[in-house]
Amino acid sequence: MNALRRVIAHLDIDAFYASVELQRHPEARGRPLVVAGTGPRSVVTTASYEARRYGIDSAMPAARARALCPDAIFIAPDFAAYRAKSREVWDIVRASFETVGQAGIDEAYLDVSSLDRPLPALRELVVAVRERTALQISVGVGPSRLVAKTASSAFKPAAFVAMGREQAAAHFAGHAVRLLQGVGPKTAERLAAVGVETVGDLQSANPTLLARRFGERQALALHTRAHFHDDSPVETSRVAKSRSSELTFPADVSDQARLEQTLVELALELGDGLRTRQRRARTIAVKVRLDDWTTVTRARTLPYFTDESATIAATALELLRAYAPPRPVRLLGVRVASFDDESKGAPAGSEGSQLALHL
DNA sequence: TCTGGGGTCCTAGGACCC
DNA sequence: TCTGGGGTCCTAGGACCC
């Protein structure tokens, strides 16, 4: 066996939130179902496959979804329920597979290189998950995360596809570049401007022209991706680097007192979260989105670590006041980062500094 | 019918140090 | 007698993903 040969699987729960809601509302079976918030500015979180036939999809404004399909059943998201169900699924997966890298609530990568017959093992897993949780998983298998993920996404729902790198490069050549991980709407637009529309176009694009347009690094990354080269490992544990809380107001807010009140509440939430997780942060940032969608961030790094809501709130308030939003505010957010157990470590004397500054 | 919330990574520029 | 060069830390904005 070739030790360098990698076999990676990507697992994705089909229409996860909508599927959980269908279990809780069996009467909705067969009908279009949309999971979306109830506020005037909420967006679609997940749509069932029936609802997708009306053109409804994730991130679409809920109001637009209602217009597209007034008869759909709309349900407000219940993230606690989804987290619980997600845990059930991935616990089953982790019981049978060693290298599991969760990549969100409803997807994960598995490194199954060491298995003699990975495909039958994965088939069994899909059956086990379906029997025990009534959820359908799509599976893509390939020599890299990129191939595995692209395969599962392209063939879901209920996908079970294995393909090699060259096979993927040939099979997806006719697809829009947007299919590739890391190519979003902006990059797709810039590529279209130089005549690159499909994955195949990108595969054969002139490297010099690409580099002139996108810079050496990004051009290389795009080209590499188009040919489905990817050697990124499956990471089984990742430590969060930041945490944030934000709120979009139902209607834009100009009242300074109301903004400050909201900011303090967000800071309190974050402080609670830090203490629960026993982490402390040095960088505190605020995010302000104005009514014209301008988004501004302001950050300050303290000379000490903190998990105190009062410190986070006071710093966030200073940052907000210094910025003084020039227009009505649509969204307010607070973020903390530079945690104390990062490998960078604490600056010397941070404990003393904290004492001194809090006297 | 306008556009959520929680994250990660990248880039670019300035301050500061040796 | 026109301004080196590299490294690190920090901030701000932006693209992208689920």
Question: CA A120 – C1' B15 distance (Å)?
Answer: 58
Residues lining strand C, beta carbon within 7 angstroms: A 59, 103-107, 149, 153, 180-188, 282-283, 285, 295-301, 338, 344
Nucleotide nearest to A218 (CA to C1'): B10
Q: Which listed CATH number (3.40.1170.60, 3.90.950.20, 3.10.50.40, 3.40.50.2300) goes with A22-79?
A: 3.40.1170.60
- pLDDT tens by residue, A128-167: 999 999 999 999 999 999 999 999 999 999 999 999 999 9
A56 in the Ramachandran plot: left (φ > 0), alpha (ψ -120 to 50) or beta? beta
Place of tokens 């301008």: A294
Q: What is the mean pLDDT of residues A25-29?
A: 92
Q: Is the dihedral of CA A156, A161, A162, A164 positive or negative?
A: negative
Smallest CA-to-CA distance from A107 within A128, A127, A86 is with A86
Query: Which nucleotides of chain C are near protein (any atom < 7 Å from a CB)?
Result: 9-18
**Quick one: pLDDT at residue A341?**
76
Which nucleotide's C1' sits nearest to the alpha carbon of A60? B3
Per-residue model confidence (pLDDT) at position A198: 97
Domain A242-358 in CATH 3.30.1490.100? The answer is yes
Interval A303-345: pLDDT, tens: 999 999 999 999 999 999 999 999 999 999 999 999 997 543 3
Q: E-assigned strands of chain A?
A: 8-13, 33-36, 44-47, 73-75, 100-102, 107-111, 137-142, 160-162, 242-253, 281-290, 295-306, 329-339
Most confident of A28-32, A321-325, A347-351: A321-325
- What is the Cα–Cα distance from A10 to A148, expressed in whole angstroms? 5
Distance, angstroms, CA A249 to C1' B2? 15
What's domain A8-15+81-167's superfamily in CATH? Reverse transcriptase/Diguanylate cyclase domain (3.30.70.270)
What is the C-alpha separation between A47 and A40, in angstroms, rounded? 18
Nucleotide nearest to A39 (CA to C1'): B4
Domains of chain A, residue spans:
8-15+81-167, 22-79, 176-226, 242-358
CA of A246 to C1' of C5 (A): 42
Distance A297 CA to C13 C1' (A): 8
Distance linking the first and last C-alpha atoms of chain A: 64
Q: Which CATH class is domain A176-226?
A: mainly alpha
pLDDT, position A121: 98
A8-15+81-167 and A176-226 in the same fold:
no
